[in-house]
Amino acid sequence: MLHQGLDFSFSGLKTAVSIQLKKVEGQGREADIAASFQEALVDTLVKKSVKTLKQTGLKRLVIAGGVSANKCLRERLEADLAKIKAQVYYAEPALCTDNGAMIAFAGYQRLKAGQHDGLSVRTTPRWPMTELTNPSEA
């Protein structure tokens, strides 16, 4: 969500998306919701980045982590930063990692232990690894 300063939070947006997904379940509108969610995130990140560069007078921005692999974000940053004569730098998408390997490993351990979840959407913004069931204790 867009705040006046440089701070931002997506917690309200995540909740809104979760609610909308439940409302349209089975209607085939998930892609529309995902596209709208992405646009809102990209818009916020680009506006905050431009504002930060203008306030600081800096002309270079580095984006990293999983979010930096997003094609829409890259394109918008390049276009909007060019307008203020600034540049954005990022690695190749294959090198833009997040905690995906950790999440995949946790999922693998749960699967090995015979645990599984349905395919419905469940939002858990903060889920410490210590709260996962230890496969050896299952």
Question: What was the pLDDT predicted at 66?
Answer: 86
Tell me: pLDDT of 56 over 80.
yes
Question: What was the pLDDT predicted at 100?
Answer: 72
| 3-state SS, one letter per residue, for 32-91 | HHHHHHHHHHHHHHHHHHHHHHHHHCCCEEECCCHHHHCHHHHHHHHHHHHHCCCEEECC
**Residues 77 and 69 sit within 8 Å (Cβ to Cβ):** no
Whole-number Å distance between alpha carbons of 60 and 53: 8
The rounded mean pLDDT for the chain is: 84
pLDDT tier, 47 (very low <50, low <70, confident <90, very high otherwise): very high
Write 25-34 long-range contacts (CB < 8 A, 24+): 25/120
The share of the chain scoring above pLDDT 90, in percent, equals 40
CATH 3.30.420.40 boundaries in the chain: 11-95
Mean pLDDT of the 12-30 span = 87
Residue 70: phi and psi, rounded to 5, are -70, 120
Across 1-5, 112-116, 122-126, least confident range? 1-5
Residues with Cβ within 8 Å of residue 68, at least 6 apart in sequence = 74, 90, 91, 96
CATH (one of 3.90.180.10, 3.30.420.40, 3.40.50.1980, 3.40.50.720) for 11-95: 3.30.420.40
Instruction: Give per-residue pLDDT as tens, 70-103.
Output: 999 999 999 999 999 999 999 888 878 767 777 7
Mean pLDDT of the 12-29 span = 87
Question: What was the pLDDT predicted at 124?
Answer: 72
Residues with Cβ within 8 Å of residue 100, at least 6 apart in sequence = 66
The share of the chain scoring above pLDDT 70, in percent, equals 86
